[in-house]
Structure 1
Amino acid sequence: MAYIKALTYYLPEQLLTNEDLVKEFPDWSVDKIAQKVGVNTRHIAGENETAGDMGEKVARKLFEEYHIDPQTIDFLLLCTQSPDYFLPSTACILQERLGIPKTAGAFDYNLGCSGCVYGMAVAKGLLAAGIAKNVLLITSETYTKYLHPSDKSNLSIFGDGAAACLISTEGFAEIGDFVLGSDGGGANNLIIKTGMARHKAMTGKYTTDEEGHVNFDDYLYMNGGNVFNFTLDIVPSMMNDVLVKNNFTQEQIDYYVFHQANKFMLNTIRKVCRLPKDKFYINLEETGNTVSSTIFIGLKDCLENSLIQKGNSVMIAGFGVGLSWGGTILKF
């Protein structure tokens, strides 16, 4: 059995408000941005603040908040698509910076919107195999460093942030069975083409897609229409598979916390899947889309505001870059 034993998040100090965006893009209005994506404010990592730095800050916050001795951690997982270096693994660096024992395993994995669900699945596997008893799962992303200054669509959606979750043999939320999937055929729908082995040097090139969005080789590109269609195609069937695998009916789910992509997409998912509005979490106003951290941030927010209570069963689901998806049920 695997449980969530501790959970918290960290947001950088610097803010990017809708008023700031309107100054840069006068053809937009504050209300238009808020209505379209559901975001009022985003937190932006400092110029020299990395995913590793945020990972350290959120882990220390977790240790303090829950009185956790880092010496009890015997495995460290870091989900990030913006690591500090090509190599070594940022997780190994965090092991030393956090005072976690050298006997603990540590590695990064490169995944975005479904990353926290994948990490929970790996952590549960490590516990089941007897490899670890206390797995520290950190999600940390600085997507805003990958955005072109003229890319107003993505600038309005994404924010930076990190979350930390301690997964252990005991805790306050039992982790159920997982449904995971991937489709690399959609890789080009959310991609940064340069900077790694395939195209190491920046090209400075750009094209315009069928939606009129500019595709910069050297910055984050998202084909919003294709990602939206993928989500509407995969989420209903994933939800059903999660229910079947965990022997639940939809009526037995008390709350839904899905990846906070944007307000329009989440509202569409809720309507297509016929989910009650009062059971479906949407809250991107102060954070934006923090990629792999959105679900953990949402869960923490729900716990602090009593939206999730003891005895509740909560479905979580992530979907996006990869393309990839994953879901499970948490029993509080």
Structure 2
Amino acid sequence: MNISTVKGVRMEAIAACVPENKVDNLEFAKAHFEEDMSSNIKALGVVERHVAVKEETTSMDMCVAAAEKIFAEGGVKKEDIGAVIFVTLTPDCLMPNNSTYAQHLLGLGKDVATLDINHACPGYVFGLWNAALIAQNLQKKVLLLDGDINSKYVSPWDKSTALLFGDAGTATVVTPDASAPNWHFTFMSDGSNRDAITVKLGMRYPLKKEYLDYQVWEDGGKRRFIDMYMNGRAVFDYVVDVVPEIANAFMDELETSGEEYEKLVLHQANHFMLKKLAKAIGFDHKTQMPVCMNKYGNTSSVSIPITISSELSEPVDHIFMIGMGAGLASGIADISLKGLKNLGVIEKEL
């Protein structure tokens, strides 16, 4: 197992932004599906979702709003930022990248480094790792933006995805601090099963007119070719069978165990699935596992930072973090949130 230890960094501030428009999942299901979906919604754990209604809204808008909240109220100065990382699978455009435009929109110095990371479910852990390494190397603060506007590529008539996904954006500042506890990371990637969760729009699948037409697929889902496809069974098996092995091995290497951590912060994929994962790695889901998918749904990689923003308003130190899913890939981290300034979740007309 490869373990990366990053010394001398801490998470200084975090904020999140969601559209103010809320979708009641029971009402949504009644409007889009003939059968009763209440049992499905209960298992998912998604009561409502925040979904953008304006066509022009993107992940950029939400992340920039979250970052501005930090600069206005978090005690972070724009001139202290040395790099911007933007984690998203829904960028404004293929080129140029989101992070470079975010630098401009936020009025940051032109000498900052800008980097985009295209990752879904485990993306925040990958982004946090890169932010920590860059902050350590530059000895400058790094602004980590993580946002996705999932509603743009999820069919409202696809039972496996329509009731699950919401829109959100976050901003995190990672700061050099020689006195901070060490952070530890490990990762797993298995691209052989990449089709378990996929959005087939790119250079291998250039846009065609017929890709915009809704059709019923073999799995029973009604969606466009460009919409997200998810094999729920394959993802479930990965999360409950493979991820616990990696997480337990990681804790063995660190000589820690579940009860030593204050919180287990997981990618908000499916409530039933998360409870099984927590139990498999020795955590109490009732006391250690904060959940926000009941309010925001699955917001892709954004779900970890929005969970911190919305559910960890009280001071928390030692946490265990797992992002898992699309790729198929996992990112696992043992970090400290000591001294974090949590500015919560703001809602905007988007």
* TM-score, normalized by the shorter chain, greater than 0.5: yes
Alignment of 1:223 with 2:231, yes or no, is yes
Three-state SS of the structure 1 residue aligned to 2:294 is: coil
Q: Which amino acid aligns with 1:5?
A: E
CA offset at residue 290 of structure 1?
0.6
Alignment of 1:95 with 2:132, yes or no, is no
Q: Which of 35, 39, 57 in structure 1 is aligned with 2:65?
A: 57
Alignment of 1:69 with 2:77, yes or no, is yes
CA offset at residue 63 of structure 1?
1.4
With over 3 angstroms needed to count, the CA separation of the structure-2 counterparts of 1:55 and 1:290, relative to structure 1, is same
With over 3 angstroms needed to count, the CA separation of the structure-2 counterparts of 1:132 and 1:21, relative to structure 1, is farther
CA offset at residue 173 of structure 1?
7.4
Q: Which amino acid aligns with 1:177?
A: H
Q: Say whether the 8 Å CA contact 1:175–1:328 is kept in structure 2.
A: no
In structure 2, distance between residues paired with 1:297 and 1:244: 28
Which sections of structure 1, spanning at least 5 residues, go unmatched?
none
Q: Which of 203, 211, 228 in structure 2 is aligned with 1:197?
A: 203
Moved over 6 A (4+): none
Relative to structure 2, which stretch is displaced further, 38-47 or 219-228? 38-47
Q: Structure 2 matches for 1:150-299, cutoff 5 A?
A: 150-170=157-177, 174=181, 176-194=183-201, 196-202=202-208, 203-204=210-211, 208-209=217-218, 212-213=220-221, 216-277=224-285, 278-299=287-308
Which sections of structure 2, spanning at least 5 residues, go unmatched?
1-7, 339-350
CA offset at residue 172 of structure 1?
11
CA offset at residue 143 of structure 1?
1.0
| Per-residue CA distance 1:216-239 (angstroms, 9 max, x = gap) | 422110011001111122221221
CA offset at residue 133 of structure 1?
1.6
With over 3 angstroms needed to count, the CA separation of the structure-2 counterparts of 1:171 and 1:20, relative to structure 1, is farther
CA RMSD of aligned residues (A): 2.1
CA offset at residue 87 of structure 1?
0.2
CA offset at residue 175 of structure 1?
5.6
In structure 2, distance between residues paired with 1:258 and 1:171: 27
Relative to structure 2, which stretch is displaced further, 67-76 or 159-168? 67-76
In structure 2, distance between residues paired with 1:171 and 1:298: 27
Q: Say whether the 8 Å CA contact 1:74–1:105 is kept in structure 2.
A: yes
How many residues were matched structurally? 324
Q: Which amino acid aligns with 2:329?
A: S
With over 3 angstroms needed to count, the CA separation of the structure-2 counterparts of 1:176 and 1:244, relative to structure 1, is farther
- TM-score normalised over the length of structure 1: 0.91
Residue matched to 2:46 = 39
Q: Say whether the 8 Å CA contact 1:79–1:138 is kept in structure 2.
A: yes
CA offset at residue 28 of structure 1?
2.5
Q: Say whether the 8 Å CA contact 1:78–1:108 is kept in structure 2.
A: yes
In structure 2, distance between residues paired with 1:321 and 1:173: 31
Q: Say whether the 8 Å CA contact 2:196–2:231 is kept in structure 1.
A: yes
In structure 1, distance between residues paired with 2:161 and 2:11: 32
Q: Which of 86, 104, 111 in structure 2 is aligned with 1:78?
A: 86
Q: Say whether the 8 Å CA contact 1:270–1:280 is kept in structure 2.
A: yes
Three-state SS of the structure 2 residue aligned to 1:161 is: strand
In structure 2, distance between residues paired with 1:59 and 1:324: 27
